[in-house]
Amino acid sequence: MSSIGKLMKQAARIQKQLEAKQAELAARTIEATSGGGAVKVVVRGDGTIASIKIDPQAANPADVTMLEDLVLTAANNALGQAKELQNSEMGSVAGGLQLPGLM
């Protein structure tokens, strides 16, 4: 088989592994909290937000800005952890290559 043929076969195999890994990541969840647990954000391994839970005690109408900051902090922490998970998992499939659009 020619070098191009081998390369194409290898690329197809890597493509299938990447697709399987992406599906696996979408099924995994990461949880982050802020404000001592007052706000909890759960994201999927693919970087989408699955849920946001807010303790009713944290919902002070006089201080909405604080609640917004807690939600933002928890969401950014959870999304950052999901990105680290993506990089780790996808990097293992791609053999350390930085493939555009995948991570």
Quote the pLDDT of residue 71. 92
Superfamily, domain 3-94: Nucleoid-associated protein YbaB-like domain (3.30.1310.10)
Give CA–CA dist 67/56, Å, rounded: 11
Higher-confidence position of 26 and 99: 26
Residue 21 amino acid letter: K
The pLDDT of residue 103 is: 45
What average pLDDT score do residues 61-82 get?
90
Q: Where are the alpha helices (DSSP H) in the chain?
A: 3-27, 64-94
pLDDT, residue 94, reads: 63
Q: Can you give the pLDDT at residue 101?
A: 55
Q: State the pTM of this model.
A: 0.66
Q: From the CA atom positions of the chain, what is the Rg in Å? A: 19
